[in-house]
Structure 1
Amino acid sequence: MPDWLWPLLLGILGLVFGSFTATLALRWPEGRSALQGRSACDSCNKALRAHELVPLLSYALQRGRCRACGGSIHPGHPGTEIAGLVIGVAAGLVAPGWEGVAGAIFGWLLLALAALDLAAFWLPNALTAALALAGLIDGFFFPPTWIDRIAGGVIGYCLLALARFTYRYIRGREGLGGGDAKMFAGIGIWLGASMLAPVLLAASIIGLAFALAMRISGREMGMTSRLPLGTLLAIAAFPAWLYGLGI
């Protein structure tokens, strides 16, 4: 298959996966399945037809509103679809072939975790386990080495688990969720131990930049406000995978 076709196909798959991820992030935290039942408007619960479910295009043609009730379509839908598209195209451009497919799967799993953490501060065990398992399978075919991957998983988990324990011991309350350590372990399995520090540093910088932007805009965060660390880790981890391929 010609190289130019990989980013095209992965981009289309990314749009579809992004659309599914947006629905997942809205339904799963409420105990609803994203796989059962027809897609429906979030405002009036009207079942959507096939032409109303085309990623990005339907949103644009409907001007971001439901045709039946006029209610606004959650902006997370087009945003997540665009993110899925960018991940697929980037992976296909950087590594046209099966390694690019693997990288896109890594990015889409990160996207699902990021969306759920942003929507509900929740990193489900099923998804963090899928991230780790996919990384182990990837190790049969592509670098980094198994030693680096296993070390990345162990160090990634222990690092954030220790940070969680220390914060709880000093402050007497939770500062990190248990899912953050599991997600970081999965990232370590994909990228290897050597990339953990850059990913954590980049995630921290992104978080600080967001907090600073909120303060400058006059919407200063309260002392009890939290930033979704899983989302920040996801934003930092996929570019790290691209960088590992020479970008």
Structure 2
Amino acid sequence: MQVPEIFWTFATIGLGPFVGSFIGLLTLRLPAERPWAASRSACDGCGRKLGPLDLVPIASFVALRGRCRSCGATIPRRYLLLELACLGIGAWSALAFAGPIALATAVFGWWLLLLAVIDAEHFWLPDMLTLPLGAVGFAASLLVLHEPVWTPVLGAAIGFGTLWLLAFAYERVRGRQGLGGGDPRLLGAIGAWTGWSALPSVVVWAGLAGISVALAQLILRRQVATDTRLPFGTFLAIGAWLTWLLGPLHGLFG
């Protein structure tokens, strides 16, 4: 039985705020090594277990004015911001694509957002997030995009191998790490989604995003800090999202 088109549209948009709430939880608990899978959400101020009315994305935050109903503690604004961001990603995906591809696009965007936030705040790309992203990309390539099996395999291999070799060469020449260990695995996971031919566009977009941030920091600080670290995984996530939506750069200008 064919799934109605409207189902995919509502699922893609409607799931966004709930995914955003979950992402907000993960961005706080994973870096702090706190349990997240089996434990119920609770107020960090008074420890009260949150009920269903406290957990309605966006609406609960607005109704409670960003505070716990019991103790008045401030609810982290990241929850609202990430819920709105995931709603936007879902809506963008539904406008750009139709059917199951729209939902797959939203899943890709939500996952990239999670990784981008964690890397931006902690310079960390956990394997428990990057490796499953590649596995889901492999499945989406075969089942949703109907690509031949070698497309995600080659994309993952080239994505990982290119950055791994670059990081290895840099460390041998300079005697210190230039890339985090999670960056090659993230680009490999992205390659499983986009295929190898789109990887140059991902890297170009990532480089442009990184340069923009570096220039902004230079302008604001009015000095160059040679030891400033930049979260390359965040920029790779931006590059992957733009490439997925817009297609490879050679297709835009060809």
What is the TM-score of this pair, normalised by structure 1? 0.88
Counterpart code for 2:138? L
Counterpart code for 1:8? F
Q: Cα deviation per residue 1:120-153 (whole Å; 9 max; x = unaligned)?
A: 2221212111111111112223154433322221
Could you say which residue in structure 2 is the equivalent of 1:152? 155
Kindly state the Cα deviation for residue 26 of structure 1 after the two structures are TM-superposed. Answer: 0.4
More divergent stretch after superposition (44-53 vs 105-114): 44-53
Q: Cα deviation per residue 1:94-144 (whole Å; 9 max; x = unaligned)?
A: 222112222222222222222222232221212111111111112223154
2:200 to 197, 200, 203: 197
Counterpart code for 2:83? E
Q: Cα deviation per residue 1:21-48 (whole Å; 9 max; x = unaligned)?
A: 1101100111112223221233444432
Residue 211, structure 1, aligned to residue 214, structure 2: yes
- Aligned-partner Cα distance in 2 for 1:44–1:213: 40
Counterpart code for 2:163? L
In structure 1, stretches of 5+ residues that fail to align are none
Could you say which residue in structure 2 is the equivalent of 1:106? 108
Residue 183, structure 1, aligned to residue 186, structure 2: yes
More divergent stretch after superposition (37-46 vs 187-196): 37-46
- Aligned-partner Cα distance in 2 for 1:95–1:58: 30
- Aligned-partner Cα distance in 2 for 1:118–1:6: 31
Aligned length: 247
Residue 136, structure 1, aligned to residue 138, structure 2: yes
- Aligned-partner Cα distance in 2 for 1:185–1:110: 13
Residue 24 of structure 1 contacts residue 33 of structure 1 at CA under 8 Å; is this kept in 2?
A: no
SS in 2 for 1:217: helix
More divergent stretch after superposition (90-99 vs 58-67): 58-67
Residue 9 of structure 2 contacts residue 99 of structure 2 at CA under 8 Å; is this kept in 1?
A: no
- Aligned-partner Cα distance in 1 for 2:34–2:56: 22
CA gap of 1:24–1:143, structure 2 versus 1, over 3 A, is: same
Counterpart code for 1:172? G
SS in 2 for 1:29: coil
Identity %: 40
What is the TM-score of this pair, normalised by structure 2? 0.86
- Please, what is the CA RMSD of the aligned residues? 2.5
